[in-house]
Structure 1
Amino acid sequence: MDSLSQLALGAAVGVAVMGRRTAVWKAALWGGIAGTLPDLDALIDHGDAVRNMTLHRAASHSLFWLTLGAPLLAALASRLHGERQHFRRWWLAMWLALVTHPLLDTMTVYGTQLLQPFSDHPFGVGSIFIIDPLYTLPLLAGVVAALAWRGDAAGLNWNRWGLFLSTAYLAWTALAQWHVRGIAEQTLAARGTPARQLLVTPTAFNTVLWRVVAMREDGFEEGYYSLLDPERTIRFQRHDRQPALKAALDDLWAVQRIAWFSHGFYKMQEQGGSALIVDLRMGQEPSYIFTFEVARRGDDGRWVPVTPENIGSRGDLPRGLAWLWQRLRGQDVPPPR
Structure 2
Amino acid sequence: MDSLTHIVLGACIGEAVAGRQLGKKAMLIGAIAQSIPDIDFIAAFFLSDTKDIVAHRGITHSLLFVIVVSLLLAQLGARMFRDRSMSLKRWILLFGVNMFVHVFIDSFNAYGTGWFEPFSSARFSFNVLYVADPLFSVWPFFAALLLLIIRRNNLRRPLFWKIGIGLSVIYLFYALYNKWDTDKAVRRNLEAQHLPADEYFTTPTLFNTLLWQVTVRDGNGYHIAYRSVFDRNDKMDFAWFPRQDSLLDLVENKDEVRDLEQFAAGYYTVDKRNDTLLFNVIRFGQIAGWDNPHARFAFYYYCDRPGANNMVVQRGRFEAWDRNTTKSFLTRIFANGR
Give the TM-score of the pair, scaled to structure 2: 0.88
Where 2:100 maps in the other structure, the secondary structure is helix
What SS class does the counterpart of residue 281 from structure 1 fall into? strand
Alpha-carbon shift at residue 72 of structure 1 (Å): 2.4
- Equivalent of 1:290 in 299, 321, 331: 299
Alpha-carbon contact 1:142-1:161 (below 8 Å) kept: yes
What stretches of structure 2 of length at least 5 have no aligned partner?
287-293
Q: Per-residue CA shift, 1:100-120, capped at 9, x if unaligned? A: 111110011111111111111
Between 29-38 and 213-222, the greater mean CA deviation after superposition: 213-222
Once residues 283 and 198 of structure 2 are traced to their aligned partners in structure 1, the CA distance between those partners, rounded to angstroms, is 16
- Alignment match, 2:184: 182
| Aligned 1:1-337 pairs, distance under 5 A | 1-23=1-23, 25-45=24-44, 46-83=46-83, 85-86=85-86, 87-147=88-148, 148-195=150-197, 197-246=199-248, 252-284=254-286, 286-295=295-304, 307=306, 309-310=308-309, 313-314=316-317, 315-318=319-322, 319-332=324-337
Please give the alpha-carbon distance, in whole angstroms, between the structure 1 residues aligned to 2:255 and 2:153: 53
Matched-pair contact (CA < 8 Å) for 1:42–1:56: yes
Q: Which amino acid aligns with 1:294?
A: C
Gaps of 5+ in 1: 296-305
> Which digits, 9 at most, give the CA deviation of each residue in 1:54-86, with x for residues without a partner?
111111111111211113222333333334641
Distance 1:168-1:197 versus aligned 2 partners, 3 A rule: same
CA positional deviation for 1:250: 11
Q: Which amino acid aligns with 2:320?
A: D
What is the CA distance between 1:322 and its match in structure 2? Answer: 2.7
Count of matched residue positions in the alignment of Structure 1 and Structure 2: 322
How far apart, CA to CA, are the structure 1 residues paired with 2:4 and 2:156?
Answer: 24
The code of the aligned residue for 1:282 comes to F
- Which stretch of the first structure deviates more once superposed, 98-107 or 136-145? 136-145
How far apart in 1 are the matches of 2:11 and 2:333?
32
Question: Structure 1 residues 134 and 202, CA, compared in 2 at 3 Å: closer, same or farther?
Answer: same
Residue 325 of structure 1 aligns to which amino acid in structure 2?
A: L
Task: Please identify runs of 4+ aligned residues in structure 1 that moved more than 6 A.
Answer: none
Gap change, CA 1:69 and 1:47, over 3 Å in 2? closer
Partner amino acid for 2:109? T
Percent sequence identity over aligned pairs: 27
The one-letter code sitting in structure 1 at the alignment partner of 2:112 is G
Aligned residue for 1:328, secondary structure, equals: helix
Aligned to 2:289: none
Taking structure 1 as reference, are residues 151 and 247 closer, same or farther at Cα in structure 2, changes over 3 Å only? Answer: farther
With normalisation by structure 1, the TM-score equals 0.88
Shift of 1:151: 4.5
Q: Tell me the CA shift for residue 320 of structure 1.
A: 3.3
CA contact (8 A) 1:127 1:173 kept: yes
Distance in structure 2 (CA, Å) of the matches to 1:53 and 1:174: 27
Superposition RMSD on alpha carbons, in Å? Answer: 2.2
2: CA distance, partners of 1:140 / 1:29: 14
**SS of 1:201's equivalent?**
strand
Contact 2:130 2:208 in 1 (8 A): yes
* 1:224 Cα offset (Å): 0.7
In 1, Cα distance between equivalents of 2:248 and 2:217: 15
